[in-house]
Amino acid sequence: MPNITDEQVENYLYAMLPPRELVLQEIERQAKERDIPIVGPAVGRLFYQYAKLINAKTVFEMGSAIGYSTIWWAKAVGEGGKVHYTDGSRKNADEARRYFDQAGVADRIEVHVGDALEVLSERKEQFDILFSDVDKHDYPRVFNMAAARVRKGGLFLTDNTLWSGKVAYAAGNPQLSKPGAGDKETEGVVELNRLLYSSADWYTTIIPLRDGVAVAMRL
What is residue 176's predicted lDDT score, i.e. its pLDDT? 52
Q: What is the largest CA-CA distance in the chain?
A: 50
Q: Which domains does the chain have, with CATH numbers?
A: 7-218 (3.40.50.150)
In this prediction, residue 4 carries a pLDDT of 80
The predicted-structure confidence for 135-194, as pLDDT tens digits, reads as follows 999 999 999 999 999 999 999 999 999 999 888 877 666 555 444 346 899 999 999 999
- Residue 212 buriedness (CB in 10 A; 0-12 / 13-18 / 19+): buried
SS3 127: strand
Flag residues of the chain having pLDDT under 70: 1-2, 171-182
- In sequence order, what are the residues at sequence separation of 6 or more whose Cβ sits closer than 8 angstroms to the Cβ of residue 119? 84, 86, 112
Predicted confidence at residue 178, as pLDDT, reads 47
Helices 90-103 and 22-34, interaxial angle, to 10°?
150
pLDDT at 179: 40
* Signed CA dihedral, 140, 76, 84, 125: sign only: negative
